[in-house]
Each structure stands twice: as structure tokens, then as C-alpha cells.
A and B are shown apart, each in its own frame.
Chain A
Amino acid sequence: MSNHLLLSIAGLTKVFGGLVAVNQISFDIQAGEVVGLLGPNGSGKTTLMNLISGALRPTQGSVTLEGRRLTGLPPHRIAATGVARTFQLVRVLPSLSALENVMVGAVFGPDQVSPGAARAVARSVLERVGLGGREHLHPAEMTYIDQKRIELARALAADPRILLLDEWLAGLNPTELQTGIELIRSLQAEGRTVLMVEHVMDAIRSLCDRCVVMSAGSKLAEGTPAEVLANPDVIRAYLGDDHA
């Protein structure tokens, strides 16, 4: 695992009308790290993800991937540099089969795999997320969890340099949660870089090398999971003043 600077976020700001949803956020991610993005509801985590993936243009600040400036590029160009993501509200393609859904990631991803070869890639990724043998079902015939798996598989099929997961573990029952955590751990083991928004504390403690905590758009703390979860400011942000 080569430990070099992969993604660098500097002074990133997004204003919606009068609301500052993301306020001067800066942090770095090293290659091979799994970084957790934490914060109470409405603190701007999804907006930050949207700024990185190009769904939104920042009001100020920059995002750099290995020295290449991503700020202001349209989402398809950012995807081509190796940024892949899942969405908080799962987005699968209803008229495509599971296999085709996942192929999309490989065919249009940074490697531009040919449709024939993408089929093979999609099969193996589906196998990996636990959907082996169900390639030909359509999303409508699958459960919510399996749809989330398809979405992760689609992102993985692109063989991304960095994977953005927006509450991918939310809504899973305890057994599924364990499988989900194992899955992300296996990604970590193969050296993938992941930025994950998460509320599930177990997952954060066991997976993240480092965490960034946001509150009301600003960065509140940064450090190992144990450090940030013990930080009085963080506790106050989550639970209110009385608990600090």
C-alpha cells in the first residue's frame, strides 16, 4: 500500500440562498485510508459528497485528486478520474437488470471497459457483494438491501481510486450490518480508499482509520474514531449541551 496523498479538500464552501451548508471544510485523504464523515442530521455531509462528485458546484474552495483539480468539472469528467459513489437514497436503474446496472460502472468508468468484458467484471463484482446467481433479476424484484448492494457493485465495477459511500450501511438489520461491515473491510484490505458518511457507531469504530466530524456545515473535529468520539464538542453537537 503506497501511502501518498490522494484527495485534498481545501476551504470547500457551499451556500444555498442564505444557508451555508458547507463552510470552509479542509482535510486530506491518503491512498488506502478509510475515512469516516460524521455529523448530526443536516450538518452538510451529503452536500460535501455532492461537491466532491460534481453533483454540485462549490461556492468556494477546491477538491484535488492526486494534484489534479476537480473543482468545477462536470460529474462525468470527475467519474472518469476515478471517483465513484453511492447515493443516500438508493438510485438503481429500474429498466436494467442487476448485471446491466453493474456493467454501467465498468463500461463508462475510468477504464472504459468494452461491453463484453464488462459483463465478466459485473459478474465477479456481483458475486463479491453477495448477489451471485441473481444477475438477471431487475431491481423491482429485489429488496432494498439488495438494491443497495447493486449500487455498491456499480461503483466498484468502475475500479475507482476513491469510493464515496453515503450512509451505505443505514437501514440494515444486525446480520446484514455484519456482512456489510465485512464487505467494506475486504475493500480496505485490498487497499481501496473510501470516504464514508455513517451514523452507525460500530461500523465507524471498526472500519475507519480516521474521522472528520461536521456540525452545521463546519468541521468540528478530526482524528481517530476514539479521539473524535470522546471529544466534548462532538458529544455536544450530537446530544446537546447537557451532556458535555
Chain B
Amino acid sequence: MLFLILFTSLLLGGAYALMAMGLTLQYGVARIMNLSIGETLVGAAFAAFWLQTQAQVGPLWGLLVITPAAFVLNWLIYRHLLTPLVRRAKNRGMLEVDSILATFGLLFILQGVMLALFGGNYYSYSYFSEPVELFGHTFALNRIVAFAVAAAVALALYLGLNRTRTGTAVRAVSVDPVAAGLVAIDVARTSALAFAIGGALTACGGALLSMFLTFNASMGVVFTTKALIIVIMGGVGDPRGAVIAALLLALAETTVATLVDPGLTLAATYGLFVLILLFRPQGIMGRRTA
């Protein structure tokens, strides 16, 4: 039983981690609290669904279309929609409120478009759904494949952030945008890049989740809540923290769903969130600031 719970949450946590790393880049580096991130995720799930059922392109190949498309879209959103807000904001607090409100707008527009295209029904498709025997338990193959892809993408991101010049610039902006500007880092461009990568990661997570979860057009909010809670739990701007927190959240959810009631997963999420808020508000990996 314990093993089953641990392994199931590990498989689920992979996709959550991608989404949370996406949000932590968008908020930690580009300073945009993106409340429409769940819609990006659900949008990617629909795209994967459409590619699989209408164009006979499986979601793994589909990723090669969906991820770059999300990158471009998010780049454009940052450049044209959010940059004016960044320029206008006199301080961090103002930008926070403005970006929250603007991304509410995006949330509803994206949701409205998806509702118009797909209606309010639940969707799912079957892909790699044959059972696999692992350590005496059966798992659907698609969950394992999704986890493997998520782990590979997360590893690539980690190496990219830590081993490349651009990655260093991204990390520098995350620590201190003003100081980064002083050492000739193009802060505006780096922020746009981080925002776009964040969107691409989230979309990737969405396409992977669609392989084994059912979804509908108005589900984004639930994922946004999860992503936000993971990011706060992990410590804003720290992808490692996001991974750990994503796994913890998946563990809490799976445990409650298996042992108590699947209808209480959000309650489990909140329980974890409240504990973090009360005892470690700066997050697991975050450092306390004054």
C-alpha cells in the first residue's frame, strides 16, 4: 500500500513539477504572478487531445508542436500585454496587483475560447493505456511515459539554468533585477525569455497530464491553485524547491485520495498550504527576507 501511494504520487508529481517550475520562472524571474497558468495547462491538454484524435499525431510528437507554440504565445503575451505594466509599475506591489488583474483577464478569455470550442464536457483519450507490472503492482504505461518525459525536461531545464550563460542571466535577474541590469544583462529580454520558457514548461506538463487525466475547459483554476501553492511551498524562484514541493503535494493528494476520499484532494492541498504558511512562509527552499 505504502509503495503504491509513493509510486503513484511520484508519477503524478512529475507533471505537477513542470507546471510549478513554469510558474516559478514566471513569478520569480519575470515578476508576473500569472493566474492564467492553469488555462495554459488545460489549453495544452486540449491541443494534445485535438492532435491525437483529429490529426492522428500522438501527444509525444505533439509536444514538439505544443511546447514551441506555447513558448511563442507566452513571449508575445509578455512583450505586448505585460511589458506596459512592468514599465508603469512604481514598485513591486503595484506590479503584483496589476499582473494579477491582467492575468485574470487572460484566464477568462482563454477559458471563454475553450468553452466556445469544446463546451463544458469532460474529455479524455487513450494513449499507451496498456497496464504495466512493476514491483508487483500494475500501473498504466502512459503515466510512466509521462513521468519519464517530465523528468527529462526538468533535468534539461536544470542543466540549462546552471550550465549556460543565458541560464546564469535568468538566475541573476531572479535574485536582483536591478543589479543584473548593472552588469549588462538585458533584464527585459531575460524576463520575456523566462516567462516564455515558463509557459512552455506548463504547456508541456499539460500535454503530459492529458495522457492520463480527464479534463474540461473550466478546470484551469484548480491547477492554478495547485501550481501557486507548490510555488509558495517550494520558495519563489527556486526550481528545485518547486520539484520537491510538487512531489510533496502529489504525495498528500494521493494519500488522501487513496486512504480517505478522492473528493478531498483540494482539502489536502490546503492543509499542506496552511502548515507552510504558519511554520515556513518563505517556503521549503526559500531564504527568509527582512
B1 at the A interface (CB under 8 A): no
Q: Quick check: B290 and A17 within 8 Å, CB to CB?
A: no
Question: In the assembly, what is the distance between CA of A16 and CA of B290, in Å?
Answer: 9
Question: In the assembly, what is the distance between CA of A55 and CA of B290, in Å?
Answer: 8
Question: In the assembly, what is the distance between CA of A232 and CA of B287, in Å?
Answer: 40
* Size of B's binding interface in residues, CB under 8 A: 2
Q: Quick check: B290 and A56 within 8 Å, CB to CB?
A: yes
Question: In the assembly, what is the distance between CA of A144 and CA of B287, in Å?
Answer: 34
Nearest-Cβ distance from residue B198 to partner chain A, whole angstroms: 27
CB-nearest residue of chain A to B289:
A16
Q: What size tier do the contact residues of chain A reach?
A: under 10
Residues of B within 8 A of A55 (CB): 290
**Contact mask for chain A residues 20-55; partner B; CB cutoff 8 A; 1 contact, 0 none:** 000000000000000000000000000000000001
CB-nearest residue of chain B to A50:
B290
CB-nearest residue of chain A to B287:
A17
Nearest-Cβ distance from residue A129 to partner chain B, whole angstroms: 27
**Contact mask for chain B residues 265-290; partner A; CB cutoff 8 A; 1 contact, 0 none:** 00000000000000000000001001
Nearest-Cβ distance from residue A49 to partner chain B, whole angstroms: 13
Residues of A within 8 A of B287 (CB): 17
Which residues in chain A, 52-71, are within 8 Å of chain B measured between CB atoms? 55-56
Residues of A within 8 A of B290 (CB): 16, 55-56
Question: In the assembly, what is the distance between CA of A150 and CA of B230, in Å?
Answer: 43
Nearest-Cβ distance from residue A233 to partner chain B, whole angstroms: 30
Residues of B within 8 A of A56 (CB): 290
CB-nearest residue of chain B to A55:
B290
Residues of B within 8 A of A16 (CB): 290
CB-nearest residue of chain B to A14:
B290
Nearest-Cβ distance from residue B274 to partner chain A, whole angstroms: 22
Question: In the assembly, what is the distance between CA of A17 and CA of B289, in Å?
Answer: 10
CB-nearest residue of chain A to B290:
A56
Nearest-Cβ distance from residue B119 to partner chain A, whole angstroms: 47
**Contact mask for chain A residues 113-155; partner B; CB cutoff 8 A; 1 contact, 0 none:** 0000000000000000000000000000000000000000000
4 pairs across A/B with beta carbons < 8 Å? Answer: A16-B290, A17-B287, A55-B290, A56-B290
Interface of A toward B, CB cutoff 8 Å: 16-17, 55-56
Q: Please give me the 4 A-B residue pairs with the lowest Cβ-Cβ distance, nearest first.
A: A56-B290, A17-B287, A55-B290, A16-B290
